[in-house]
Amino acid sequence: MMVNVMRHILCWVSAVLLVSLSAHAVAGQGDEMPPVLENQIFDLPQSTHRYTFRELGGDQPLLIDGMSNRLTLGFGSRMDQLVQGGTLYLNYTYSPTLLEDISQFRVRLNGELIRAVQLTSDGASERQQIRMELPAEYFDLYNELEFELLAEARGMQCSVVAPQAWLEFLGDSRLELTRQHLVVANDLSWFPEPFVDQRDFSRVNLHYLVPDQLSTHHVAAAGILSSYFGNIANWRGLQTHVYRYPEHQEDIHEVRAWPEHHAIVLMTNEQRPWLFRDLPAITTPTIRMVTNPVNQAYKMLLVQAPDAAGLIKAVQGLVENPVGMSGPELRVNQVRVERRAPYSAPRWISTQRPVRLAELVEFQSELQRSGYAGEPIGMNLRLPPDLFTWQRQGIPMDLRFRYTPPVAADESRMSVFVNDEFIKGYTLTERGFGGDHQRLRVPLLASNPFVESTIQIPAFKLGAVNRLDFRFSFSAVSEECRTRPLGNTVAAIDGDSQIDLRGYQHYTEMPNLHLFVKTGYPFSRQDDLANTILVIESSPSDTEFNATMTALGLIGASTGHHGSLLSVSTVAELPQRTEKDLLIVGGGALREFLERFGRDSLDRQLRHHGLAGSQSLLFSPQEDIQISGPSAALVSFESPLARQATVVALTANQDEFLSQVDALLRSPERNTAVRGFMSVLTPGSERHLRTYETYYVGELRLWTRLHFHLARYPVVVSVITLLALITLVLVLYWFLAGIARRRSERRRS
């Protein structure tokens, strides 16, 4: 604590007295050291951040009661900011049956008691509000707010804990933090900080400074970086902000917006911002960390190359070798990027080997819970989006778990849920462990006492992104009224439990935009994006650039890997035949693509909705009659350049309205509704159009594929079966008639 106080004082002294010095700040009690501070002669900015409990809690209920009397909310602190203090604004209600003399709740920050609040009977019928100050010295790089209820309900003397004793926080309760910005050293050893801080739980904002005329090389370099940062951002999401700098000498004094944030600059010897005009020309692709010349509290990552093509090499060198970097500069003399195998995405459950449940969580402690009815032990199951589960009995899981044994046989249970749907329940016995001779398989197979029984997750309930929860609940009823139990119940899932997808094939129906917005499929099938071509206009606009970076960040977040082998092309540069999947961004690029390669595949889909030949919904057509209002669309169809290849287009009939597609991709709540081959966005509506004309991608064994497709047409199967039976009867008749004829001939002879 004392170290934190000294750090706090040091920062203020350096800012107020305008003293230039360097010092190391120690971060809380962790082993990780924050970067060197370069306290310059200027005032360091401060900012206020607000988090509502609804944001901090996610999907978990903000309720504590006698059965589950603790609620924990976590949040991080950026490495380039120092928390000056915080204020907690609590809005809550509680049970009217609480015993007034002993009922209270305690608030802790990182284990330190902040305050205990008594719950009186007078306030039970009203919404309560309270404000608490949080001392700066209690904050760390990762922080936890814990609320503990200590209460009993009237008339429940023989209950170990009373579910009638409850307290619920309202979602608009909030935490406000005042943060002092620190100056980070020009050192790449902290990369990807400060541009993306893994401890900050808010959405990642990337700021790019690029030339007026963007080439495909500029977009490719920025796209690789965005997929890399999207991987780090993961569930938090990523939003891009773009700034332009003039390229011509006559425009250098033109007033332009400059990023007063941590930002990434793409520049060559010939194309560079005026403020970096004095940097020497380079002969090798280079990455530099420098101070933002407009606001020295922030840093800039300079991606430099002799020409635009070298920018890709510079970025590849950065993202392929992030470990071991040090100092302000990285020169990329040579970089080798090996092509990765399909379905190698680190965040997807492998189909090549059993996967341990410990691999699906970040910390082992996430597999353990305490309390009579604590929070579920949960983990995400990211399956390959095209996993073929038709007529499979389910996805097997070897499950083992441990728990505090009940004193006597009671109603203690462990229940398994997938996407909040019940799968199976276990009775907790005095053994203290379970699942040692069971595999999770629902529905149950025919039991055999001499064979391991299997419990299986139903494949039809598993989408590409799933939630697996194990909920432990211990009985809290006691026959002894004179003593209160210790409340030391603990349960844990064994990290060596396994989920096994071996033997599953890859085959799915397309187009399917739901798979794209949730998993980046089909582009994420190869997580290095080696099978993807990004198609743009010759000089994309700001909104097209932002939408492109959002889509690539989404793919990186889904796979857990960066797309170092991304190809970027204009429509004119596309080959006549390619088996790669195409991601088209911008109405102009889509119009050029359809004019060059035809729109038969797209019109076959639109015809079912009475929209064949429609252009105004997708882009600004060169016609006499045009729709006056804005419209944007997310659309997918089979590529005219190759069978089983897919086109996904982000388009709008007015450039600025493309931001609506960008916002749709960034919103997990909104994009959950995306279905079919096309989503149309207008100012007053959002419609998702069903797919009628389908095609399939992936590989299946010949007999399985034949069986699968014929099963969709039972009448055809019946006719084929009838013809097969008739043929069989005729063959048997012919065979038996021949035998009879030969016997008759032998008798005559």
Q: Where are the domains of the chain?
A: 48-181, 188-331, 355-506, 512-693, 713-748
Determine phi and psi for 294, rounding to 5 degrees.
Answer: -90, -35
Which tokens belong to 244? 């332009």
Using CB atoms within 10 A of its CB, is residue 495 exposed (0-12), middle (13-18) or buried (19+)?
middle
Range with the lowest mean pLDDT among 27-41, 316-330, 617-631, 732-746?
27-41
Are residues 380 and 360 in contact, defined by beta-carbon separation less than 8 angstroms? yes
Query: pLDDT > 70: what percent of the chain?
Result: 84
Checking if the pLDDT of 16 tops 50, the result is no
Looking at every residue in the chain, the average pLDDT score rounds to 83
Q: Is the pLDDT of residue 445 over 60?
A: no
Residue 444 pLDDT grade (very low, low, confident, very high; cuts 50, 70, 90): very low
Q: What is the distance between the alpha carbons of residues 141 and 459, in angstroms, rounded to a whole number? A: 40
Per-residue pLDDT at 620 exceeds 50 = yes
Q: 122 to each of 92, 342, 429, how far by Cα in Å?
A: 14, 64, 43
Superfamily of domain 355-506: Galactose-binding domain-like (2.60.120.260)
Question: Which residues have CB under 8 Å from 454's CB, separation 6+?
Answer: 396, 438, 439, 440, 441, 444, 445
Angstrom distance (rounded) from CA 55 to CA 25: 30
In 562-657, where do the E strands start and end?
A: 567-570, 581-585, 632-638, 646-652
Residues in the chain: 749
CB 188 within 8 A of CB 324: no
Give every CB contact of residue 460 below 8 A, 6+ residues apart in sequence: 389
The predicted structure's pLDDT at residue 146: 93
pLDDT (mean) for 635-650 = 95
Contact 540, 586 (CB under 8 A): yes
Q: Residue 633's beta-bridge partner residues?
A: 651, 680
If one counts every other C-beta atom within 10 angstroms of the C-beta of residue 469, the result is 16
Q: Which residue has the higher pLDDT, 628 or 310?
A: 310
pLDDT at 170 over 80: yes
Q: Which has more pLDDT, 314 or 14?
A: 314
Position 288 scores a pLDDT of: 95
CA atoms within 13 A on the CB side of 336: 1
Q: Is the pLDDT of residue 259 over 80?
A: yes
**Residue 486 region by backbone torsions, left for phi larger than 0, else alpha for psi between -120 and 50, else beta:** alpha
CA distance 330 to 307: 17
Nearest to 419 by CA among 374, 380, 473, 472: 380
Contact 8/85 with Cβ under 8 angstroms? no
| Averaged pLDDT for residues 428-441 | 62
Q: Please give the pLDDT value at position 361.
A: 87
Write the pLDDT tens digit of every residue in 267-325. 999 999 988 988 999 999 999 999 999 988 899 999 999 999 999 999 999 999 877 78
* Mean pLDDT, range 169-193, rounded to an integer: 91
What is the mean pLDDT of the segment spanning 377-398? 84
CA 127 to chain centre: 36
β-strands 46-52, 387-388: how paired? unpaired
Closest to 161 in 3D by CA, of 147, 145, 170, 148: 148
- Phi-psi map region of 171: left, alpha, beta (phi>0 left; psi -120 to 50 alpha): alpha
**10 contacts: CB under 8 Å, gap ≥ 6:** 23, 25
**Lowest mean pLDDT, pick from 213-217, 440-444, 671-675:** 440-444
- Strand runs labelled E in 700-738: none
How far CA 623 is from CA of 274, 615, 619, 620, in Å, comes to 42, 9, 11, 9
Does 608 score more than 50 pLDDT? yes
Percentage of the chain exceeding pLDDT 90: 42
| Structural tokens at position 326 | 């040090």
Tens-place pLDDT, residues 187-217 = 998 899 999 988 888 889 999 999 999 999 9
pLDDT at 347 (0 to 100): 92
CB-CB contact of 178 with 83 (8 Å): yes
How big is the chain by its Cα radius of gyration, in Å?
31
Residue 748 backbone dihedrals phi, psi, to 5 degrees: -65, -35
- What's the 3-state SS for 199-236? CCCCCEEEEEEEECCCCHHHHHHHHHHHHHHHHHHHHH
CA terminus-to-terminus distance, the chain: 115
Q: What is the pLDDT of residues 692-748, one digit of tens each?
A: 989 999 888 888 878 777 777 777 767 777 888 889 888 888 988 888 888 887 777
Residue 727 is given by DSSP the state: H
Residue 290 pairs with which residues in a beta bridge? 300
Q: For residue 34, is pLDDT > 70?
A: no
**Which pLDDT tens digit goes with each residue over 533-553?**
999 999 899 999 999 999 999
Q: Are 19 and 40 in contact (CB under 8 A)?
A: no
Q: In terms of Cα–Cα distance, which of 466, 416, 413, 420 is closest to 439?
A: 416
Phi, psi of 8 (to 5 degrees): -60, -45
pLDDT, position 209: 96
SS3 696: strand
Architecture of domain 188-331: 2-Layer Sandwich (3.30)
* Residue at token pair 């014929």: 710
Q: Is the CATH number of domain 48-181 1.10.3720.10?
A: no
DSSP 3-state assignment of 3? helix
Q: Name which of 326, 340, 334 is nearest 285 in CA terms.
A: 334
Q: β-pairing, 646-652 with 581-585?
A: parallel
Contact 458, 443 (CB under 8 A): yes
CA atoms of 18 and 276, how far apart (whole Å): 26
355-506 shares the fold of 48-181: yes
The residue-averaged pLDDT of 411-415 equals 83
Instruction: Identify the pLDDT of residue 155.
Output: 60
Q: What angle do CA 513, 558, 471 make, to 5 degrees?
A: 100
pLDDT-wise least confident of 185-189, 473-477, 554-558? 473-477
d(CA 190, CA 289): 10
Least confident range from 84-93, 424-433, 649-658, 668-677: namely 424-433
Between CA 481 and CA 494 the distance in angstroms is: 35
